[in-house]
Amino acid sequence: MSLLYRNAGLRIVKTVLLLTVVAGWATGTSALAQTIIIPTLSVSETYDSNVFYTPKTLLGPGFKPEDFMTTVIPQINFAHAGPRVNGSFSVGANIAKYVNNPSLDYTGVNAAGQLDLKRWANSFSQRISALSVRGTYQFTPSLSGFGATTGGALGAGYGATSITSPIDTGLITNRVSMHNMNLGVTGGYDLSRNTTLTASYSYTKLTFGNQSGGISNQLFDTNGHVTTTALTTRITPTDTVGTIATMSHYIQSGASGGGSGSFTTISGMMNYGKLWTQKLSSSIGGGGIFTLPIESTVPGQSIKAQFAPTGTVSMTYSSFSEGLRAAGSAPGPFDNLPRLAGSLGVGGVIAPGAFTTSVSYNFSIFPSYALVAGPMKTHVVGINARGGISSNLTAQAGLNFSHGTTSTPASSFDTLGATAGASYLLGPVLVNLTYNWLYFSSSFAQSAATQSEYAFSKKMVMLSLSYAFTSQSFFRMGGLGSFLSQDAGESSITPVGSGTGNSSVGSGVLKKE
């Protein structure tokens, strides 16, 4: 079975690599194309008060919840820019060694890729406003990725304000080997000067393997298909309105037996977005979501059609645009690359005085994949803040809260996670120090008269040292911005890293085609 899991993971990695090769082929005959390859390496020391993500009273004999671990993350970051196609890709290993529980030693894998095909699509129609493909694969034997931030700081565990996968909804399972795959495509078309139609499709696959700590919870492999269509109209220079229609279909089966089932949801929302100032923006959306009748082989999980409200609220206050203008560079080649927990992100250090604060709330229906299966009503709140203290020092903090409930059988959970950390660029080495705290509690009805309770908390302290071998500007926001700033007709290549980095030329491996 583990060999089957690894083969599935290799197929996803090969798929993303193939997309990258296609990008290179598509620009092979162009007048100008640029390629950059940046190897990175990170070494971390971590204290974890509960490596099993399990109540300590439930652990089997010989398992010690507290542990110290050494983690090594070798990673390759690749980006390609041409007149028609831009793409980026990263792949890395996550190698961990434990002091008190050597049986937990593991090697995980993270891979992410994206292609921006908008300029290629514009050769057919200038009205095509977006066309992109993205994919991620992650193998980890530890935990779900709830709250993983996108700020670039390694180990900053909470503060996410977006939901892209069922593991972002706050449901936490015990320590278990997990494969998480995501593929998606997005396209946009300008119906008029002020109205844009956007459509997207995403596929998610969660597969569970061996559990640790002598624990054997019921887990459910989950396959998800989500299609979304959005219509957005700008009614003033600062105001937009629109509608979003989404259809989701999830197929679930017990990872170690225990039945299978599927469910489908259809939702519609009205949205309003407001740009209050150049630094402050907000959006709000509300509507309804239907869960279609469910047929299941699991006793008690067949239900009638249900209706519930759904909604989102977000607000962002940021000076990043001013920081980028001050740096004199455009967005970097890795800015749209999907981020995964345990990957080394670009741009962890921002300009002094630059900052961003984001708050979001989301209520919708997602699949439950631990203890019980089926649709789960979930509230998720995310808050994060990041600011440049000095030219080399960036601080960040984050908070996530989630509450979820299922009705057949009745269950609920609450998750609270907080993080605080700092990143300091010491010459060519990025130093990260982060503290994470997590509390999780759940209850579910085993029978009409029996209720099972499950709760634990944990804290983690991580110190990591990271190095980018060919780019001292890799860790600075905007440091690689000039990579994508060339016009198609230019015949010269601006050296990567000529923005805010410590090195003036030669950041990365450049290739002119």
Q: Is residue 461 situated within a structural domain?
A: yes
Question: The pTM is what?
Answer: 0.82
Q: pLDDT tens across 203-219, in order? A: 999 999 888 877 788 88
Mean pLDDT computed over 459-469:
94
Mean pLDDT of 289-296: 81
Alpha carbons 337 and 40: distance in angstroms, whole number: 16
- Structure confidence by residue, pLDDT tens digits, 481-495: 656 554 333 333 333
392 band by pLDDT with thresholds 50, 70 and 90: very high
Distance in angstroms (rounded) separating the CA atoms of residues 451 and 445: 5
Q: Is residue 405 part of a domain?
A: yes
| Complete DSSP assignment for 358-406 | EEEEEEEEEEE-BSS-EEEEEEEEEEEEEEESSSSEEEEEEEEEEEEEE
User: What is the reported pLDDT for 147?
Assistant: 75
Give the pLDDT of residue 506.
31
Q: How many domains does the chain have?
A: 1
The answer to the question of residue 341 being in a domain is yes
Residue 258 binned pLDDT confidence (cut-offs 50, 70, 90): low
In this structure, is residue 499 part of a structural domain? Answer: no
Provide the pLDDT for residue 490: 34
Domain that includes residue 477, residue range? 2-484
Closest CA to 308 of 240, 406, 419: 406
| CATH number for the domain harbouring residue 161 | 2.40.160
Asked whether residue 489 is assigned to any structural domain, the reply reads no
pLDDT given at position 296: 59
**Which parts of 389-409 are beta strand (E)?**
393-407
Is the pLDDT at 45 greater than 80? The verdict is yes
pLDDT in tens, 318-342: 886 544 444 444 566 777 788 888 8
CA dist., res. 158 & res. 144, Å (int) = 12
Q: How confident is the model at residue 235 (pLDDT cuts 50, 70, 90)?
A: very high
30 is written with which tokens?
Answer: 């162009």
Task: Say what percent of the chain tops pLDDT 90.
Answer: 49
Helix or strand or coil: residue 251?
strand
Q: Which of 153 and 17 is assigned the larger pLDDT? A: 153
How sure is the predictor about 381, in pLDDT bands with cuts at 50, 70 and 90? very high
Give counts: helices (H), strands (E), the chain: 3, 18
Question: Mean pLDDT throughout 154-177?
Answer: 83
Q: d(Cα 116, Cα 98) in Å, to the nearest integer?
A: 40
User: What is the predicted pLDDT for the residue at 489?
Assistant: 34
The Cα 211–Cα 196 span in angstroms is 46
